[in-house]
Each structure stands twice: as C-alpha cells, then as structure tokens.
A and B are shown apart, each in its own frame.
Chain A
Amino acid sequence: MDELEEIKITFFQECDELLGDLESGLLSIDAGDTEPELVNAVFRAVHSVKGGAGAFGLEALVRFAHVFETLLDNIRGGKTALRPDLVKLLLRAADVLADHVAAAKLGGEGDAASTTAMVEELETWISGGPAPSPPALPADLQPNEDGIVFKPVTLTLPEVDEGPREEVWTITFQPMDELYAKANEAGLLIREIERLGKIDVELLDDALPIFDNLDPETAHFAWKVRLRTDVPEEKIREVFEFVEGHCSTTIVREASPPVLVEADAGPDIAAIIAAAQAANMEAEPAFTPLKVDVAAVESQPPVALAPAAPVAQVAQPTSPRSPQPPQGEKVNQATIRVDPERIDKLIDLVGELVINQAMLAQRVAGHGFAASSDVGRGLDELEQLTRDIQDSVMAIRAQPVKSVFQRMPRLVREIAGQTGKQVRLVTDGENTEVDKTVIERISEPITHMLRNAIDHGLETPEERVAAGKPTEGTVRLAALHRGGRIVIEVGDDGKGINRPRVRQIAIDRGLIAADAQLTDEEVDNLIFLPGFSTASTVSDISGRGVGMDVVRKSVQGLGGRISISSRPGFGSTFTLSLPLTLAVLDGMVIDVAGQTLVVPLTAIVESLRPAAAEVKKLGAQGGVLAVRDAYVPLVDIGRVLGFQTTEIDPAEGVVLLVDSEVGGRAALVADSIHGQRQVVIKSLESNYQQVPGIAAATILGDGRVALILDVDALVAMRKREPLRMPEPSIQAAE
C-alpha cells in the first residue's frame, strides 16, 4: 500500500516532466519548428501520462488524455494537418491535461465544464476539422510588455460623494486704518468668512489703548477666526481680495485630523468583508463595469484565451499552468528537480569559498588586525555566513536514508529464506537525512551488517524456542543524528557474540596470542580483524569473502566508525557512525616534523601537555602515557608516517588523546597545535593514490596542502612501525 503511494508520487513527478515536454514541444511547434519528431514527442508525453494514469485508476484523467492522444495520433499520422489555430488548441488542451494531473494529485478530478468544452473542441478536429481558422487575437488583447494579456477597465470618473472634506483654518485678520478709511468693515468681512463654513471668532483687543489715548480713526482690533470648511484656500483668500493692502492677514491650515478610519462608521466592516468572501464572484461578479468594451471580444469565436471573464480578458501567452486546488485542500509542497552536477558544483564552490575565507582570515590576522576591530568583526560575520551557506548547500544535497532502508525488507526476506530463520525487520528513523554522497555508500555496509545479524546473530527457530524466545527473531535497523554525525544501528535479539569461540578462532588463526588478556570489548572487536569468520560453514550469505573487516574498511573509507556491543543471550548491536557529509570536516591542525597535518575532530577526546613523569618508555621505541588512572599507548605521528626517525619527546610537544576503533584509546604525539579549523576534503585516491595512515588531503588557509590523518589506521600502524611511505613527501605530488 505504502509502496503504491510511493510509486504514485513518482508517477506525478514524471507527469510534471512529461507535461513540461508536452508544453515545450507544442511551443516549439507553435514557434514554427516543423521537425516531425516534435509531434512524436508530444504524442508520447500524452500517451505516457495516460498509461500511468490508467495504472492508478485515474479515470477522468485517462478519458481526457485519450481524446487528446487520439487527435495527436491523427496529426502524427498525417490525418489532420497542423495549423496555427490547432496548435493553440493543443496548448490549451495541454493546460486542461495539466489541470487534470494537478487535480488527480490532490485526489480529485479536473474541472468537468472546461473538460467537456475541450473534449468537444478536440473531437471536432478528430472528426475532420472545424470551420476556418478563427481570427487572431484582437490587437488590444496582445500580451503587453509584462507578458500579460490584460485590458484595463476604464471608468468615467464617478461623482464620489466625498462628504465634507473639512479642514480647519486659522485666519488672523488685522485691519489697518486705511481699511476703515475706505469704508470697509471688519464685521462684513467676518460675515463673508462665515458663509464659507463654521467659524469661531475671537477678538484680539490687546492693542486697544486706554480710553484717554484712544484715537477713533485708528484701527486697534484684530480678529482670529477659526474656520471649519471644505472650500479650498483660494476661496478664503478671495474674501480679503478687496481689502488687500489694507489689512494684514494670515491664513493657516491646522493639521487635519486623521480621518483614516472613522470609529463611528455606520456599517459593520467585518460584515461587509465576510459577505464579500462568501459571495461566489467567479460565477457572477457583483461588479458591473461602467464602460468596458467587452462585447466585441465576446462575439469573437473562442481563441487562445481562457473562457471569457466578464470584466476583462486575461490570458497567459506561455506556461499557462494554473491548477487551482480546491479551497481548504492541503497543497502539496512543490519540489524542483535539479541536475545533481549543479549541486555538486555549488558544493565545490562553497568549499573554495571556505578555503578563501580561511586564507583571508589568516592574512588579516597577519596584518595585525585585532579580532575586535571592524575588519575582525567583519571577518567573523563572513565566517558565520560562509558556514551558513555551506550548511544550506549541504542541506540541498541531503536525502533521507529511506531510499536505502526501503531496499532492506526484501533482502531480509531473502536471507531469512536461505537460512531458514524467521526474521522481522523493524526500521526506525527512515527520514534521517544525510548527504547524498554518504547515502550512496552506506547501502553496502548496511547490507553486510544485516546479513551478519541474521546469519550469525539470530538463532534458528528451534534454538530460539529452546532459549525461551519467540521463534521469530527481530532485526532492528535505525538511523539517527548524534553529535553532527549520522548513526546507523543494526541490532538483533539473537544469541550475542560467543566470546570464547571468537577468542579461540582468533588464536587458531594467529590473530592473537594464546595467552592474550582481552577485555570483552576487545574480544568482540576481533570479528573486525581481516580474515576472521565465525561461520563454521562458509555460507552463501556471509561467506562471500566479505567479512566484517571489509565492512569496517568501507566504513572507515567514509570517515566513519563501526563498533559492536553484545550481550550473550540477548543479541548484538552494530553501531555505524558516519559524517553527515564527505565534503568538509572539522579538524585540528597540528605540526609534526615540519609538516602540517589535520586530525579529524571527531576522533579527538582531549589534548594535553604531559609532564615528563607521566611518560613511560617501553623499550627502544614506543611508550605509554599515564592519563589519570590509565596507561595509553603513545603514537609518534612523525615516526609512524616516516617523516622522521627520531621521536618527539611527548613532554616537549603536545599530545592528542584519540579514540580509535581498533586499538582503543591512543595518544598521538605532535610538535604543536595550530587550532581548530573546518577543512574541505580533497580525496587523495582520486588525486594521487591511497596512503596508509592518511585519510585525505586539504588546502589550508595559506594555500598549503595538508594531509588529514586516518587515526584508526595510524594507531593500527603503530605496531608495525616504522612504515615505509611510498614517497618521502606527499606534498610533492600533484
């Protein structure tokens, strides 16, 4: 059921591509391309949509596609000649088809009315072609410069009853003596003003002298009139036209009160809006255009336009997909398909950006800019931004592990059948995302781990019953994010690792000494040793020369770690920890014998400067370091990698405590530490060749090449040191 849904999703993705092909093909034909293959391609696209739709019982889609296909077949066979108006019809039919697909995607059916109309048109052509070509688009319905066919709706400026557009004016009016001398009167002027609106008059009598000094021929009064009116300023000024020069007048508009929303607006705004939303305006717009010349348009036979909207003619000249999902329906999130090469290129470029950013930071620091300076802060922001970009770009390439997990149930069924065991597979965390480069390479290790779990971990049904367990064994496959890595767990509820037997086999094969003292964990890890196989009979499943050592190797190749935990009688769990990406790595930059190296940060437990007393020499070469209560083997990187023959005195240098899958904890000895840095991984294999102890290379901020250490390999190599390097200096290589 789930699978079917998955395939359906794929079908719709394909449909999108097919519809794209269909449209671009038709547009090419429309543009005058007469290549016969185009018609074939167009036909195939519709045919494929129909075929897939049939498989999913999308009957409406099939019916429409069938009619469409029939006409295309006629065209293909030369029965119907291609004409410009026919191409336009085909383009519209493609739209209807796209609408059907979009509707089917949401579980519905395309619009019946437009389908029926389109089917009729198509059938007219199928049965011998219609009347002569309809006329071209009216000139005023050609797409405008925006690529939209839109005819503005004209409107004669209506007399809008604006209501009183009141403003408040303050008029200060001070008559001079002349005004009175010319037989004008202040009172008349004020009355004039009153005719313009509502007024408040205030007499300003400050200038009135005491009675003894009063000159009756002199003007003493002034007036301040507040006028509330909707007339423009000129009208007010007109009042004073005849007394100009005989009075001083100022007319000032008061700041108009905000009239944006009137609180006591009568009608209920919410009700108006609600009524409008409820009204089905597509069916019948309440708006009657005042002066729209659509009659001419409507009398035209249908051309390449959407059914005539009552108000304005709108159509889209190209790419006219506008499926309108039913309201309230959840719209599927749109996805785009991108050529992976483009993303890879982007990731490469971001990698270069990271390097450049590091170089810049280094140079700026070299010029003595403090971190708190403007430049320093700017660089900080740049670094943050660079990281964000990097994360975002990586997220584009991230994929859920589902694609890998999905393949496993079948595998489990097969192995169960071959081994005669009853197995139930439980998966968890299928949506955990990880970089595509990692996805592509985890399938194999997971397959091996599952095989191993069923073949070696689980008991036969009889054994299980005897052990008081259900006959059906459970294998659990889970993915989760932990600490910036993806962790894949393969667990079983089987018998667990038979430690005495593992130990015996290891002794028999000379992998360990007969008297070796090993912890349980160390015994468990013996199964990862090359050539180890616990299956007494080499079975089809586990015994194809692919032991756990190969699994571990491929996991390490991914910068990952694998570990096992087991409880006798209760089962084992393999835990695979992988970086989320193979493109970048957080590393510690160290100096060893004049070489700059990078240690993956994930391997480092802590770094310390040991006191001389904590270093214990063991023999001529090698030694251990006392770290708190434990002794940790010292690994001299320079010696192991062959950079130098003399050892660095750990007390003089720096020690990095690392966790390795093989030898447990170890202490890497280096000359000095530069600091922590994010580096872009450059494969050594693809640029040079594989080098033991080296995982990859990178380019540092100053442009130098630095090698990234393979800590596990390094620790493992310690025993076989000194190692001969294929070339004395890697950096010399291209």
Chain B
Amino acid sequence: MPAASALSVLIVDDQLTIRSLVRNGLQQIGVTNTREAGDGEEAVAALVARPAHLVITDFNMPKLDGLGLLRAIRSYEPIKNTAVIMLTGRADPELVQRAAQYGVNNYLVKPFTVATLREKIEEVFGALT
C-alpha cells in the first residue's frame, strides 16, 4: 500500500490547463510530488535526469507524442519500469490497444474526475494511503 505522498509523478501534456488539472487532482488525493513536462522529449529528459514512479501523459503532443514517450520509456533501461498512464480524449479502443502493445499501465479518459484519477492510479499501484 503505497503512500500517496511517496509517489513521484511526472505530468506530461502540451496544454498547461490539462497539466494543472492533473496536478490539482493529484494534490487532492495526496500526491504532491509532481513535476511537469510540455512534450514527450521534455518528459524523457526529465525522467533521465530524475526518475519518477509514474508518468501521466497525454497522447497528442508536439515533437514526441504519448506513444512515442511510452516507447522511449520502455526501451531505455534506467527508466523502463516507470508506470505510465495515458490520457486520451476519448475512449478510443484502437489507441488503447496500441498503447497496451507498448506496455501502458493504464489509461484515463478526459475529462476525468478526481475519483477516476485515483482509481486509475490505484489499479496500477494498489490502494493509496
């Protein structure tokens, strides 16, 4: 049972609004250790510089999109076991399927509630305390 406060999360989205919403949602469930990146490339650099437990990333982003980020994480040894939750604009089975192929841990459909956010994280890590 991981403590929410112990969880370090990297939020990746090109939209500040979404990043803020995710950050705010995480704070509400006790996850305060968050960092942010504006696209996949920034995210990879941020993870390489300092790993995180969980990456919550959007799919559509400039430079390197969510799937690209996912692939980069999974193929680079030092960070390959980072949990990844993909944010999607709609419940697109094809997209989720592709993400699953690359080893996504979970997905989250926008717009989401704090309860769903918590649920999705707990589905990966177990109940948060």
Interface residues of A (CB under 8 A from B): 146-148, 150, 152-158, 160-163, 165, 259-262, 265-267, 269-270, 272-273, 275-277, 279, 281-282, 285-287, 289-290, 306, 309, 311-316, 320, 322
Contacts and interface: CB of A to CB of B under 8 A. Distances in A.
A162 B8 contact: yes
A154 B125 contact: yes
A320 B103 CA distance: 21
Contacts of B124: 152-155
B44 A272 contact: yes
25 contacts: A146-B109, A150-B100, A152-B123, A153-B103, A155-B81, A155-B83, A155-B124, A157-B6, A157-B53, A157-B125, A162-B50, A162-B51, A259-B46, A261-B42, A262-B46, A273-B44, A273-B68, A279-B75, A281-B74, A285-B103, A287-B80, A287-B81, A311-B100, A311-B103, A320-B93
Contact of A312 (B2, B48, B104): B104
Contacts of B93: 147-148, 314-316, 320, 322
A309 B100 contact: yes
B104 to A, nearest CB: 7
Given A160-B8, A273-B72, A285 B48 contact: no
Nearest to A270: B41
Contacts, number: 156
B48 A281 contact: no
Contacts of A316: 93-94, 97
B101 A282 contact: yes
Given A260-B35, A314-B100, A265 B48 contact: yes
A306 B44 CA distance: 31
Given A285-B74, A286-B74, A322 B46 contact: no
A322 B94 CA distance: 7
Interface string B45-85: 11011111100000000001000100111111000111100
A285 B97 CA distance: 14
Contacts of A320: 93
A150 B71 contact: no
A309 B51 contact: no
Contacts of A312: 100, 103-104
B42 to A, nearest CB: 6
A260 B126 CA distance: 27
A479 B37 CA distance: 53
Contacts of B51: 160-163
A161 B44 CA distance: 16
B101 A152 contact: no
Interface residues of B, number: 51
Given A148-B93, A281-B71, A287-B74, A160 B52 contact: yes
A260 B100 contact: no
Contacts of B104: 153, 311-312
B103 A277 contact: no
Contact of B75 (A157, A267, A269, A286): A286
B67 to A, nearest CB: 10
A154 B126 contact: yes
Contacts of B37: 260-261
A260 B72 contact: no
A555 to B, nearest CB: 49
Greatest chain B CB density within 10 A among A150, A152, A260, A312 is at A152
Given A269-B48, A276-B76, A322-B93, 5 more contacts: A161-B51, A162-B8, A262-B49, A276-B74, A315-B97
B36 interface: yes
A-B pairs, 7 with minimum CB distance: A146-B91, A287-B103, A152-B123, A262-B49, A287-B74, A316-B93, A276-B72
A155 B105 contact: yes
Nearest to B97: A314
B96 A150 contact: yes
A290 B74 CA distance: 12
B113 to A, nearest CB: 13
A289 B106 CA distance: 12
A261 B101 contact: no
B118 interface: no
A396 to B, nearest CB: 24
A261 B49 contact: yes
A260 B103 contact: no
A259 B49 contact: yes
Nearest to A149: B93
Contacts of B91: 146-148
A152 B75 contact: no
A154 B123 contact: yes
Which interface residue of A146, A259, A290 has the most chain B CB atoms within 10 A? A146
Nearest to A264: B49
B45 A262 contact: yes
B50 A261 contact: no
A439 B102 CA distance: 50
A314 to B, nearest CB: 4
A272 B7 contact: no
Contacts of B2: 157
Nearest to A258: B35
B40 interface: yes
Contact of A266 (B48, B97, B109): B48
Contact of A275 (B40, B75, B100, B126): B75
Nearest to B106: A152
